[in-house]
Chains A and B, each alone.
Chain A
Amino acid sequence: MTKSKTEKRTLYDKIWDAHVVREAKDEPSILYIDLHMIHEVTSPQAFTGLETRGLSVRRPDRTVATMDHSVPSIDRGVFPWLDALAQKQVEMLAANCKKYGITLHDLKSAHQGIVHVIGPELGLTQPGKTIVCGDSHTSTQGAFGALAFGIGTSEVEHVLATQCLLQHKTKSMAITINGTLKPGVFSKDIILRIINEIGIGGGTGYTLEYRGSAIEKLSMEARMTICNMSIEAGARAGMIAPDETTIEYLLKRVKFKSDAERKQAVEEWRGWKSDEGAAFDKKVVIDADSIEPMVTWGTNPGMSVGITGVIPNGGNEEIVGALEYMGLKAGQKMQGQPVDYVFIGSCTNSRIEDLRIASKIMNGKMIAKGITAFVVPGSQEVKHKAEEEGLHEVFLSAGCEWREPGCSMCIAMNGDMVPAGKYCASTSNRNFIGRQGKGARTFLMSPAMAALAALEGRIEDIREYI
Chain B
Amino acid sequence: MAKEKFQNFTSRLVPLRMDNVDTDQIIPARYLKATDKKGFGEHLFQDLRFNEDGTPKPDFPLNKPHYKGAQILLARENFGCGSSREHAPWALLGYGFKAIIAASFADIFRNNASKNGLLLIELPYQDVDQMHGDVLENPEREAFVNLAEDTLIWKGQPYTFPNNPFTKKMLLEGLDDIGYTLSFAKDIDAFEKNKK
Contact = CB atoms under 8 A, between A and B. Distances in A.
A6 interface: no
Given A45-B37, A201-B104, A412-B30, A155 B111 contact: yes
Contacts of A164: 181, 188
A300 B22 contact: yes
B52 to A, nearest CB: 8
Contacts of B108: 136, 150-152, 231
A162 B178 contact: yes
Contacts, number: 158
Interface in A146-202: 150-155, 157-158, 161-164, 166, 168, 200-201
Given A86-B33, A234-B78, A234-B107, A162 B86 contact: no
Interface string A37-49: 0000110110010
Contact of A53 (B22, B89, B178, B187): B178
A85 B20 contact: no
A204 B106 contact: yes
B35 A92 contact: yes
B187 A22 contact: yes
A182 B162 CA distance: 46
B47 A438 contact: yes
A28 interface: yes
Contacts of A201: 20, 77-78, 81, 104, 106
Interface string B66-81: 0000000000011001
Nearest to B24: A432
A152 B28 contact: no
Given A70-B33, A438-B28, A432 B82 contact: yes
Interface residues of A, number: 61
A158 B178 CA distance: 6
Contact of B81 (A200, A412, A435): A200
Given A150-B84, A152-B84, A201-B20, A30 B32 contact: no
Contacts of A435: 24, 29
A444 interface: no
B116 interface: yes
Interface residues of B, number: 49
A42 B35 contact: no
Contacts of A411: 29
A300 to B, nearest CB: 6
A44 B106 contact: no
B187 A158 contact: no
Given A30-B188, A158-B177, A162-B178, A434 B35 contact: no
B182 A161 contact: yes
A88 interface: yes
Contacts of B181: 30, 158, 161-162, 164, 166
A85 B34 contact: yes
A58 B34 CA distance: 25
Contacts of A300: 20, 22, 81
B165 interface: yes
Nearest to B47: A434
A152 B85 contact: yes
Interface in B86-113: 86, 89, 104, 106-108, 111-112
Interface of A: 21-22, 26-28, 30, 32, 41-42, 44-45, 48, 52-53, 55, 58, 69-70, 83, 85-86, 88-89, 92, 134-136, 150-155, 157-158, 161-164, 166, 168, 200-201, 204-205, 231, 234-236, 300, 318, 321, 411-413, 430, 432-435, 438
Given A231-B82, A234-B81, A318-B18, 10 more contacts: A21-B191, A27-B166, A30-B181, A152-B112, A164-B181, A411-B29, A430-B24, A432-B22, A432-B25, A438-B28
25 contacts: A27-B166, A30-B184, A41-B32, A41-B33, A42-B86, A44-B36, A45-B86, A55-B178, A88-B35, A134-B84, A135-B83, A152-B111, A154-B112, A155-B112, A157-B178, A161-B181, A166-B177, A204-B104, A231-B82, A300-B22, A318-B19, A413-B32, A434-B28, A434-B47, A435-B29
Q: Which 9 A-B pairs have the closest CB atoms?
A: A85-B33, A152-B112, A152-B86, A154-B115, A44-B35, A150-B84, A201-B78, A153-B86, A136-B84
